[in-house]
Structure 1
Amino acid sequence: MKRAICGAVAVMVLSACGGGDGASPAQMKQKQQGGGGAGGTTTLIGAGASFPRPIYDRWFAEYAKEHPVRVNYQAIGSGGGIRQVTEGTVDFGASDAPMSQEELAKAPGMVHLPTVMGAVTVAYNLPDLTQPLKLDGPALAGIFSGRIAKWNDPAIAALNPGVALPATDVIPVHRTDGSGTTYIFTEYLSAVSPEWKQTVGAGKSVNWPKGLGGKGNEGVTGQVKQAPGAVGYVELAYAREGGLSTASLRNSAGQFVQPTVEATAAAAENLGGLIQQHPDFRLSLVNLPGAATYPITAWTYLLVPPHLQDCGKARAMAGLVRWSLNDGAAYARELHYAPLPDAVRGPVLQKLSAITCGPAREPLGNG
């Protein structure tokens, strides 16, 4: 899938798939100050999370077919995206984790715009296993803490009665970069395991007790594919693209659920009230109620300053976001993401319309 996407956008999106002239987001922004481009094209520079990269690549390419807007997006990890947008070296950042109070102190008013919902899967490499592995939160915390060292450990066997589990060593694989996917995964482990919360905790980067590291969702996917016995956490699109097996996780209702678009969307059924309590959208979606809900669900954010100097770029970005949340929803499902439900999409578009631009601080509005 990714090769096809990259081939389609190699010219339009520059280095989003590793091509272009090799310039960093900061260098690209310096080249494109003022929003200009060949033939009146507006160029937007963004950087951040790898979690949404497949859908962002698709959105940016499809939008560019009908609009004079091209996007250079580099998936450098959520931590890098937050840093770049805070420093003003990109037009927008992207993160799967909301900015912390400490980070917001350096970038007051940074607007968090959810774009799609996704599932963080537990992907594993056990070639002789013929049925999906079942895991719960405590067992998963035991695996990534190093306390569970063999796949036939009693804690895993109890969740998989009648299954011939191999005596293979468990090889946990984690992210090495500052990662929103890591934040989501460790936030879940902290919610279901008091021991994990106390000893490791949640964050975009944590001190992993054990395991191998990989950069980006791509790096973790590659490590899991190469090593029998390996297990890692990756966004659903990467697990499906990589042909990885994914565990069924026990949710808060006690049901074992596979990561699917439908199970991700099920988590959204309870978001109406939460949005009212968190109008800035900085809230956790892990371990939400519902028998059909996949428990490691999250949305991913675009991070946009509350005021943009260049109205041309600001309006181009607003048009792209509006199209993505409306017309782009069908592409999201194709690539294993759940579109935002109406109860979320409406407030997100209202938040977008309140961003201002130019010397007169004009609101972007709904146009």
Structure 2
Amino acid sequence: MYHWGKWIARCVMGVLGVLFCATAYSADLTGGGSSFAAPLYRGWGEGFHHQTGLSLTYQSVGSGAGQKLVMTSGADFGASDLPLSAALLDSNSLYQFPTALGAIVVIINVPGIASNQMKLDGPTLAALFDGTITTWSDPRLRALNPGLRLPDLDVLPIHREEASGTSHVFADYLHNVASDWKAGMWGDGPEARGNDGVAASVRQSIGGIGFVEYAFARQNRLNTVRLKNHAGQFVAPEKASFTSAATSADWSHADHYAVNLLQAPAPQAWPIMSATFVLVPAHPTDRTAAAATKAFFRYGLKQGDDVTRDLDYVPLPTSVKDRVLSGWP
């Protein structure tokens, strides 16, 4: 991975005024996993490259694959929207930390229905995804949306085909709001790979419904829906509702930063929020790779907030960033 014959003989003033020498890290960084977080790391990577001359190669292959990549030393870091348990972290000698918060949103392709016009509550959303509700003219949808002209059109639920932290978080939410929902209870609809694959499938499928990280909905100009939150309010997926949910996080009691942001109690909170996580070796054998990886995430956490917000994520609280960097092995 590292080409010691290609040393770069220059130094730059890096994060927090620390002199960063590119000669110490002479090759690109590699990471992979979460498609939810892919835009974030690629965005940070552009600024990091400009400052240090190093490039990040990131594979958007899903959270499950990201976990395997770092466990098998297939990448410098793995990215996952599903945090690992303390036992798995210990047994694989991994350090886990969050990098940002993001929202999972519901996207639809229903003729005549504009973005955020449709309102859904938790049980109705679960019924759309498990195949119980089969047409967009179903009485339950009409009751929630008395002012909309809902077409007599088949519902086509679309979900992820690969192991996915986004799917896990969304399924956890459905179980929270519809107690009979169980993981894997997807209706008779197509599968797609990654957030980008689901977004493309919904865009191409009349009657389609899916779930993606918010940035993919915005970038693909897809119609989203309002959801009924824990406080009983129908809220739109937007920065104000995301921030409202994020500020309610109980970081002080989160085991290895695995904070729960589903159904946050704030009155205007978006109900499906999640932190996205990174995994790195707790006892790295390649100290050069470890130092370069830490420099990348120090840059992102300390200098990347503008990029984080521009890409529709919510930055971590400053106190959490400081804990992450001070606790890094």
What TM-score do the two structures reach when normalised by structure 1?
0.81
Query: Counterparts of 1:33 and 1:224 in 2: how far apart (Å)?
Result: 41
Query: Counterparts of 2:298 and 2:254 in 1: how far apart (Å)?
Result: 21
Which residue of the other structure, out of 324, 330, 342, is the alignment partner of 2:318?
A: 342
For residue 83 of structure 1, give the secondary structure of its aligned residue in structure 2.
helix
Compute the displacement of 1:350 (Å). Answer: 2.5
For residue 307 of structure 1, give the secondary structure of its aligned residue in structure 2.
coil
Count of aligned residue pairs for this structure pair: 312
Compute the displacement of 1:183 (Å). Answer: 0.8
1:353-364 mapped onto 2 (5 Å cutoff): 355=329
Letter of the structure 1 residue corresponding to residue 37 of structure 2 = P
Percent identity among equivalent residues?
37
**Structure 1 position 300 matched with structure 2 position 276:** yes
Compute the displacement of 1:97 (Å). Answer: 0.7
**Structure 1 position 223 matched with structure 2 position 201:** yes
**Structure 1 position 254 matched with structure 2 position 232:** yes
Query: Counterparts of 1:193 and 1:127 in 2: how far apart (Å)?
Result: 27
Q: Is the 8 A contact 2:89 2:95 kept in 1?
A: no
CA distance 1:207–1:84, shift in 2 (3 Å): farther
Which residue of the other structure, out of 110, 115, 118, is the alignment partner of 1:126?
A: 110
Compute the displacement of 1:247 (Å). Answer: 0.6
Compute the displacement of 1:252 (Å). Answer: 0.2
1:214 corresponds to: 192
1:287 corresponds to: 263
What TM-score do the two structures reach when normalised by structure 2?
0.90
**Structure 1 position 317 matched with structure 2 position 293:** yes
For residue 264 of structure 2, give the secondary structure of its aligned residue in structure 1.
coil
Compute the displacement of 1:152 (Å). Answer: 1.6
Unaligned 5+ residue runs, structure 1? Answer: 1-31, 356-367
Letter of the structure 2 residue corresponding to residue 323 of structure 1 = Y
Letter of the structure 2 residue corresponding to residue 119 of structure 1 = A
Letter of the structure 1 residue corresponding to residue 113 of structure 2 = L
Q: Is the 8 A contact 1:63 1:320 kept in 2?
A: yes
CA distance 1:35–1:259, shift in 2 (3 Å): farther
Query: Counterparts of 1:152 and 1:289 in 2: how far apart (Å)?
Result: 31
Query: Counterparts of 1:343 and 1:256 in 2: how far apart (Å)?
Result: 31
Compute the displacement of 1:106 (Å). Answer: 4.7
1:42-121 mapped onto 2 (5 Å cutoff): 42-100=27-85, 103-104=88-89, 106-108=91-93, 110-121=94-105
For residue 123 of structure 1, give the secondary structure of its aligned residue in structure 2.
strand
CA RMSD of aligned residues (A): 1.8
Query: Counterparts of 2:220 and 2:229 in 1: how far apart (Å)?
Result: 25
Query: Counterparts of 1:145 and 1:75 in 2: how far apart (Å)?
Result: 27
Query: Counterparts of 2:77 and 2:3 in 1: how far apart (Å)?
Result: 15
2:154 corresponds to: 169
Q: Is the 8 A contact 1:117 1:265 kept in 2?
A: no
